[in-house]
Chains A and B, each alone.
Chain A
Amino acid sequence: MGIETKLGDMGVVTTKLEDLVNWSRTNAMWPMLFGLACCAIEMMAAQASNYDMSRFGMELMRASPRQSDLMIVAGRLSKKMGPVIRRLYDQMPEPKWVIAMGDCASCGGVFNNYAIFQGVDEVLPVDVYVAGCPPRPEALIHGVMTLYEKVNSETFKGYAEKYKQVK
């Protein structure tokens, strides 16, 4: 990525910088507008005024993958949509995260058939799975907080390794 992968371990400097980087990442994580099915309705509800995801730094849903950090896969992923979602994911700039929202995106749910991917982790690396069919807006926010916990525990060493894998 940048300086953070080259810095390595510099004791207190890196830990403080890590905290700062993680703080800024968790406070301005823009999700991509990517609703595939009924879960998208709950995602909209989570973004609307009742549950207002802007409180968690998700000020707005970006329609372009190039401006987003987080992909919320809301809904079942059909086989035909697979290449499209992979392409959109590849277009997102690093660092990027994926939340599989709902049962279908997580593991296929009730749709155990030939047309649906049995979980989006067949095409994307998923960070957080949210259960529910569809999950309540609160459940999605809980998933976002689980993701934030994960992001906050990341280290420079971890970024470097992750980046190496991606490359």
Chain B
Amino acid sequence: MGVLEPLVELARGLGQTFRYMFERPVTVQYPEQKRTVRPRFRGRHVLKRYDNGLEKCIGCSLCAAACPSDAIFVEASENTDEKRFSPGERYASTYEINMLRCIYCGFCEDACPTEAIVMGDNYELSFTDRRQAIYPKDMLLEPVHVHTMLTPQKVDAGVFTRSVPEMKDPRD
């Protein structure tokens, strides 16, 4: 052996390299081709609406209280039947999330009594200015398909009195 052994080893090593030349590349061509996120991935928040277009958020600020990095600011105002944003007494007149403060832990999602705030799947958040990172309510709210579903809505008196929807299953 002696002299041949290093040559054999060299050939084996280069053979490995040569074999990888014919394998499919693993690179994801990111901006053109995106890898789908996992079902439980926590990305940018979305404020949800009910089927009739009313906002689920009732401005209770529990998300702001649960937030470990104080990224959420909520200011609540009173609903009226002429100008109704959400069921119940109050709605969030200001709802801001600082995307640079937020650590995407999902505590706000857990704290929300009406399941208004959910973590979406958008992770493409980069800004040239810190000011742009503060997302106001109109950027966070889910878009509507029909124009009549936009808030504020004019509704009949005494229909939307309950701010938190009744539980179908109390053990849930």
Q: Is the CB of B124 within 8 A of A107?
A: no
Residues of A within 8 A of B70 (CB): 112
Query: Contacts A109-B69, A112-B69, A130-B125 given: A51-B28 contact, CB under 8 Å?
Result: yes
Q: How many residues from A make CB contacts under 8 Å with B? A: 31
Q: Which of B15-48 contact A (CB under 8 A)?
A: 25-31, 34-35
Q: How many residues from B make CB contacts under 8 Å with A? A: 29
B130 at the interface (CB under 8 A from A): yes
- Identify which of A103, A138, A142 contacts B102 (C-beta below 8 A): A103
Q: Is the CB of A142 within 8 A of B103?
A: no
CA of A128 to CA of B124 in the docked complex: distance in angstroms? 13
Query: Contacts A50-B27, A55-B27 given: A132-B123 contact, CB under 8 Å?
Result: yes
CA of A132 to CA of B99 in the docked complex: distance in angstroms? 8
Q: Is the CB of A110 within 8 A of B26?
A: no
Against A, the Cβ 8 Å flags (1 = close, 0 = not) of B82-125 are 00000000000000001111111100000000000000000111
Q: Is the CB of A49 within 8 A of B26?
A: yes
Residues of A within 8 A of B31 (CB): 141-142, 145
Residues of B within 8 A of A50 (CB): 26-28
Query: Contacts A107-B98, A138-B35 given: A127-B128 contact, CB under 8 Å?
Result: yes
| Closest chain B CB from A127 CB (angstroms) | 7
B133 at the interface (CB under 8 A from A): yes
Residues of A within 8 A of B28 (CB): 50-51
Query: Contacts A106-B100, A131-B102 given: A146-B69 contact, CB under 8 Å?
Result: no
Q: Is the CB of B127 within 8 A of A131?
A: yes
| Closest chain B CB from A90 CB (angstroms) | 22
Offer 29 A-B interface pairs, CB within 8 angstroms, sorted by A.
A50-B27, A55-B27, A55-B29, A103-B69, A103-B102, A106-B130, A107-B130, A109-B100, A110-B69, A119-B130, A129-B129, A130-B125, A131-B100, A131-B126, A131-B127, A132-B104, A133-B102, A133-B104, A135-B125, A136-B123, A138-B123, A139-B124, A141-B30, A141-B31, A142-B31, A142-B123, A142-B124, A142-B125, A150-B128
